[in-house]
Amino acid sequence: MKNILVTGAAGFIGSAFARYMVKKYPHYNIIVYDKLTYAGNLNNLSEIDDEGNYRFERGDIAARDVVRGILQKYDIDTIVNFAAESHVDRSILNPDAFIHTDVVGVYILLDEGRKHGIERFLQVSTDEVYGDVETGYSTEDDRFLPNSPYAASKAGGELMVRAYHVTHGMNTVITRGSNTFGPYQYPEKLLPLFITEAIDNRPLPLYGDGMQVRDWLYVDDHVTGIDVALHHGVAGEAYNIAGENEQHNIDVIKAMLKLLGKPETLIKHVPDREGHDRRYAMNCDKLRALGWQRQYDFPQALALTVQWYQDNEWWWREIKTGEYLEYFKRQYADRLAAADQDQPNNH
Ligand SMILES: NC(=O)c1ccc[n+]([C@@H]2O[C@H](COP(=O)([O-])OP(=O)(O)OC[C@H]3O[C@@H](n4cnc5c(N)ncnc54)[C@H](O)[C@@H]3O)[C@@H](O)[C@H]2O)c1
């Protein structure tokens, strides 16, 4: 491994991975390739701008000729693919982009990667491919039961990775991370959305009863999980990366409000997301057996995250303009209005 193409690394988790890899492995060249969609942000990578082993190239993973050119230009031997449309609500509003990137884009990366002779391909996937898990914990061999267009598109991408391993003998590894949080997360996702809205004393539109269970994983732990799977994962295998920290959404939000010193009355229950899964939970013994261990406990990671958004208003205030405001209105305006009518005392 020498020249690693990290796709989608101007986003939340990919940028954390790029910042970590550039510093941890000075003998690797890290080439970030990102389309810079609404979710991509070069500010996420400014910390490593001056590092000699980091390069940035803008492009779409589904643009075959551009991908081929980049693989040749940097003599790439390894691909780690974070690039995705990643927000469930947007996949309900407009699934086209999800099929384009999460399915077709993954296929193009695999196909061009194979022709170029890359030695390792890691696909970053999600616990959402398993679907709703009422009881127990998903293991890597469980069947896929995706329920949102996002989860289905990620499952489709994974199946193509599997096919390229079985059919062409490509050296592939898949990671399935759980609900990730931390600095630099685009403020459309639950926690950064609610932290930044709460800082401004605005109502927090919580879906349904807020009793959905997610397994909360700190971004730095997700990144080290990918590092371990990249270096030690067995070809053709998938590895769950779990936080082993199940929480109801409403409890996370109450803990966050306490850290900010804001009242729980900011929480507004709004009509639920369509097809909203109640619970995800995974077993991660398989990755642990490769030597991975979480470093952060939840209260510590939540406090670090809340503090980061308090200290870095410049980062998120720049995002919360233009297209973002349009999206927020489309997603929440009617829901907040309905909540006002249903629950006049729900401030
Ligand atoms: N956020 C989570 O909780 C979570 C959990 C498990 C797995 N994942 C997976 O991890 C990966 C990263 O998630 P994230 O939360 O950092 O996402 P994100 O939305 O913050 O970032 C996605 C990045 O991909 C880029 N991108 C989108 N389409 C592209 C294309 N066609 N070509 C090139 N670049 C493109 C965007 O510009 C952006 O920089 C995704 O594959 C996601 O499915 C996320």
User: Which is nearest to 41 in space by CA: 308, 316, 327, 307?
Assistant: 316
Q: Confirm if 260 and 323 have CB atoms less than 8 A apart.
A: no
Residue-wise DSSP of 205-243: EEETTS--EEEEEEHHHHHHHHHHHHHHPPTTEEEEE--
**To 10 degrees, the CA torsion angle through 143, 146, 151, 153?**
80
Q: Which amino acid is at 269?
A: H
Ligand 1 atom closest to the CA of 105, numbered from 1: 31
Residue range(s) occupied by CATH 3.40.50.720 in the chain: 3-182+216-241
Residue ranges of alpha helices (H) inside 96-172 are: 96-98, 106-116, 149-168
What confidence score (pLDDT) does residue 202 get? Answer: 96
Pocket residues: Cβ below 6 A from ligand 1: 7-8, 10-14, 34-37, 39-40, 60-62, 82-86, 101, 105, 124, 126, 154, 177, 179-180, 186
Q: Which of 128, 197, 227, 277 is catalytic?
A: 128
Residues of the chain with pLDDT under 70: 342-347
> How far is ligand 1, taken at its centre, from the CA of residue 32, in Å?
13
> How far is ligand 1, taken at its centre, from the CA of residue 201, in Å?
29
Q: Is 294 left (phi over 0), alpha (psi -120 to 50) or beta?
A: beta
Please list, residue by residue across 47-71, b when 16 or more beta carbons sit within 10 angstroms of its beta carbon and e when fewer do: ebeeeebbbbeebbbbeeebbbebb
**Residue 147, CA atoms < 13 Å, CB-side half-sphere:** 14
Is this model's pTM higher than 0.75 or not? yes
The residue to mutate among 81, 86, 110, 184, having the most atoms of ligand 1 within 8 angstroms of its beta carbon, is 86
What confidence score (pLDDT) does residue 228 get? Answer: 98
**Is 128 considered catalytic here?**
yes
> How far is ligand 1, taken at its centre, from the CA of residue 112, in Å?
20
User: Which is nearest to 157 in space by CA: 110, 104, 103, 111?
Assistant: 103
Residue 192 host element (H or E): helix 190-199
> How far is ligand 1, taken at its centre, from the CA of residue 11, in Å?
6
- Inter-CA distances, 157 with 102, 124, 125, 195, Å: 6, 10, 9, 32
Residues 190-230 have pLDDT tens digits of 999 999 999 999 999 999 999 999 999 999 999 999 999 99
CA 183 to chain centroid, in Å, comes to: 12
**Is 150 considered catalytic here?**
yes
Ligand 1 atom closest to the CA of 83, numbered from 1: 24
CATH class entry, domain 190-213+246-277+298-339: alpha beta
Those residues with Cβ within 8 angstroms of residue 142's Cβ, 6 or more apart along the chain or in another chain? 130
> How far is ligand 1, taken at its centre, from the CA of residue 115, in Å?
25
Residue range(s) occupied by CATH 3.90.25.10 in the chain: 190-213+246-277+298-339
Q: Which amino acid is at 336?
A: L
- Assign a CATH topology to domain 3-182+216-241: Rossmann fold (3.40.50)
What confidence score (pLDDT) does residue 344 get? Answer: 46
Ligand 1 atom closest to the CA of 40, numbered from 1: 39
What confidence score (pLDDT) does residue 347 get? Answer: 40
Q: Which of 60, 77, 102, 127 is catalytic?
A: 127
Distance CA 245, CA 228 (A): 20
What confidence score (pLDDT) does residue 339 get? Answer: 83
Q: Which of 20, 137, 150, 309 is catalytic?
A: 150
Ligand 1 atom closest to the CA of 241, numbered from 1: 6
Place of tokens 């193409």: 5
The residue to mutate among 15, 32, 66, 82, having the most atoms of ligand 1 within 8 angstroms of its beta carbon, is 82
Q: Confirm if 28 and 100 have CB atoms less than 8 A apart.
A: no
What confidence score (pLDDT) does residue 146 get? Answer: 97
Q: Which amino acid is at 260?
A: L
> How far is ligand 1, taken at its centre, from the CA of residue 241, in Å?
16
Distance CA 10, CA 16 (A): 9
